[in-house]
Every structure is written in structure tokens, then in C-alpha cells.
Structure 1
């Protein structure tokens, strides 16, 4: 089942998610296929609403996707708040809370802790360099989880290490920042507001794509692009398309690994970022 050379027919997806998608700032899905060490970008699709995203999740398998939002909460936080200790119950409970209530709870938790240790972290946050999944601003990943995870559960996809589902539709937690930092360090390559869409960020996107095409990562995969695709990715100053492609590369790596490359022991409340 987990051969070293994965079957070609599995569709691979990388998803740059938004908790409040719109036509102006849609969810972006990068689709591709892997052949040996090469990952070919087949297309980029935009989903302008959560309803469109939910419909897309019903895409017939076999597919494997890496989604750019947290799938779990820090165990330390869950225990401190006395929330359910099983992932499905926890996520249903979490989704049922209003964001205003969650913000109040999270802020109170942080206020009671010393400077520098305000947030609780998941075990995967440090190796991935990711924001704590309880963070509600800059970036509001807590709201992304609040919007996204219930839709994954509702769609009945397989969530390895968290909840079983349709084995033909596998969803893993991705994080583009992990791969981007490996390639260009802490250089910024994207900005939502026009004033910050600088020539330096444009050059960083070009460097990032060049490194992906040359396979200069520990994932040991090369991205295959058309000239038109490369131009589109460089021109997208918000970086949403590029983030979706970075997640696609993580999905392609996971597809070639035993057990999707997840550690043998993953905390069943926290989940794990693929390739961390």
C-alpha cells in the first residue's frame, strides 16, 4: 500500500485556506500528480465560499490533500479549559462555540501566563515553525480551524491519526511556511496589501519557485511548471497560489511515505503538520 514509488493515479492537492473566503480572497486549490521525484502542477482552482469548499471536498478519490490550517488544539490548553479529551468530541464542541466566546477564553488563558509563554503550543509547532493553533489574530489560525475542520468532518474524509473516514479521500495538515523557510529563510514573499507588495517580495517568489523546480529541499521532489504557470505564481503578490503549491509539494511527499510520513506517535488531540 505504501510503496516507495507511489501509484500515479492518486490526485494530489494543496489547499491555501481562508476562514472567510470571497471572490477577492478565495480559497486556492493547487492540483498535481507525482511521477518519481517530479511533481507536475496540473492546475489552480479558486473557491470563493466555504460552501464551494465543502462541495469540492466531495471530489471523487483517490486523492490526498495538504490543507493550510490547524487540525487540532494544544493538549495543554484543552486540559486547562476542561474541554473534551477525544478529538471528534473536542472539535464538535469547539465548532459550537462562538468566536467571541473563544476569544474571551483564549485571552483569559494567555493573560494568566508569564510573558513569553502566553500561548500553549502543539508538539508540531516548534519543528514546523508554525503559529499556535489557538492564535486568533495575525494570522487568525484559530478561526481557520473553526471554519475548516467541521467541513472536513462533515465530508467524511480520512484524517490520519485523528479520525477515520473515506480512505480514498485523505486530508493532512500542511503548512507552506515550513517549506518556504527551508528554501528562502525568513524572507517575506507575499503581502495582502498593495503598499507592501515590494520588488523584494517579487524576487523572493522567483527564488522560491526556482528552488522548488530544482528540488532543493529535504523533500527531494522537483516541481514541474509551464511558463504560464510560473508567471502566474510570480505575479500573485498575495502569495495564495504559491502557498497552495507549497502545500501540494507536502502532499506529494506524504503520498510517497509510509503512514503519510506522520510520526509513529502523534497526539490524538493535536494532530501533526506533514513533513515537520
Structure 2
């Protein structure tokens, strides 16, 4: 699936995106912008988008970038086959985006109800190595709705999705997952919450520890994060973790920039997609 046509260059600007399927002023979509020089990844800035339309306009600009996006790009093949849905990615996404959230919930709930306890959800091949939620999950977190809202924005913007869908090869979107990188440093320690009552000193310390580890380059990605003092404070102070999650996605995009074929496995399922660095 990996074409040899020219792609975003090895020094293209990088994006990391923390997604919300229903962004608001209080909970916007957060985008980290940066650039890699050798093994150092410098954070250039953070953007916030309060609507999907604003994000679409930004991604549609004819400027080169390579981005890591925190939402699933595909559904489990087992689920798609069981439902009799299209087994070509673009046709599947057209079908899926045409459904309402209520229809998605009812369809997926019926699928789960028919299966034995402990095996309710179907999983993609990347879910276990990434430790991610199945992309058909509609609650806590509602990643099925994130897929439903996010992929149409990428298709509308005409970006390139390696292994899934051809687009403008100067704007390359890859699926990222901040929890994968965070767990490498923190294990199961939590570093964020949207609930004010859960925004504890322990989570604040975890954010500081995570940022220290990124700045010291202690991950298997082999990159060091470079922050200004004010950027560091902004990441620490955001108890929701949205800014930090965007930066974690940015780091995964930076790693992909150093890898042949963006580090995607040669045998990646062209229906399911893959999570960076899983």
C-alpha cells in the first residue's frame, strides 16, 4: 500500500491533534505545531478550534505537514464483515459517515449483545499492541463517534492517508494515540481529567513527570522535546491534558517522519489502519 510517489519531506512541519467529536469553546480541538531538527522536536505553538468547520479550513490549506491525529481511522474488519458493510476503506467511510450516532449506537450495541461476556467488542489488529479502546466503542471514550466526526474532515480536506486513501501527498495524516506514549513513562498513573474534582495534585505531578521524560528524550521514539518556559507551564497547567495529548501526538508524528513508510507495518490491514508506533 505504500506508494513511492513523493510525500511530505523529512523536514515538513509537524502537527499533533487532540480531537473532540463535539468541540466547544470550553473543550476545543487542540493542535500542537512543531518541527524536528535531528533528534530534537521543537514545539512551535498550540492552536484551538471550536468547530469542525474551523479545523477543516485549517487542514485544507495547501501547506505541507505531517500530522498525528488522536482518533481512529478505521473499524475492525471482523465487525465490518459481520455487518455486511463495504470492505473497501473509502466506501466503508462513506457508508459509516451517512449513519446517525443513534444508528451507530444501536447497530454496535446489537452486535455486542449477541456476543459472549468478555468478547463483546471486535478489535483491530493494532488495539492490543497500542493498548487502545476498540474503535467501535461508543462510550468512555466514544471513539466510534470520533471516527464518525473526524475521518470526513480529513477526506473533505483532501489529505493523504498512507495505506488507506490517496490524497495530497504534501499533507499526510496518521493515526496517533497519546496514551501509548504516556504509559511508557507513567504506567497506569493518570495525568488528566475533565472533571474538576479529579484534577488532583497527583495528576499535576504526573504531568510534570511526563513532560520531564519527553524533554529528556527517554522514550523509545528517540526524540527530545524542546519547550520554552511558558510552553512548559501551559502544558502543566492544563488539567484536562488536552494540550499535553496534542504534544504526545506531535511526538509520534515526529517519530513517523524518521521511519521508512512512517513506521506503518507492511502488512497493515487497509480497512483497519494502524496506530503510530504500536
TM-score (norm 2): 0.96
Deviations 1:108-155 (A, max 9, x none): 100111111100000000000000000000000000000010111111
Deviations 1:66-93 (A, max 9, x none): 0000000000000000000100000000
**Equivalent runs, 1:171-250 vs 2, <5 Å:** 171-250=173-252
State the Cα distance separating 1:194 from its structure 2 match.
0.4
Gaps of 5+ in 2: none
Secondary structure of the 1:33 match is strand
State the Cα distance separating 1:8 from its structure 2 match.
6.1
State the Cα distance separating 1:61 from its structure 2 match.
2.6
Q: What is the aligned partner in structure 2 of residue 154 from structure 1?
A: 156
Contact 1:8 1:33 in 2 (8 A): no
Alignment partners' CA distance in 2, 1:241 and 1:145: 20
Alignment partners' CA distance in 2, 1:70 and 1:149: 8
Q: What is the aligned partner in structure 2 of residue 112 from structure 1?
A: 114
TM-score (norm 1): 0.97
State the Cα distance separating 1:7 from its structure 2 match.
5.5
Alignment partners' CA distance in 1, 2:10 and 2:43: 14
Secondary structure of the 1:57 match is helix
Alignment partners' CA distance in 1, 2:10 and 2:269: 31
Alignment partners' CA distance in 2, 1:140 and 1:71: 14
Moved over 6 A (4+): none
Secondary structure of the 1:84 match is coil
Alignment partners' CA distance in 2, 1:49 and 1:102: 22
Deviations 1:215-235 (A, max 9, x none): 111001000000100000000
Secondary structure of the 1:43 match is strand
Gaps of 5+ in 1: none
State the Cα distance separating 1:60 from its structure 2 match.
2.7
Q: What is the aligned partner in structure 2 of residue 53 from structure 1?
A: 55
Contact 1:11 1:61 in 2 (8 A): no
The alignment yields a C-alpha RMSD, in angstroms, of: 1.3
Q: What is the aligned partner in structure 2 of residue 87 from structure 1?
A: 89
Q: How many correspondences in the alignment?
A: 273
Deviations 1:16-54 (A, max 9, x none): 000000110000000000001000000000001011011
Secondary structure of the 2:36 match is strand
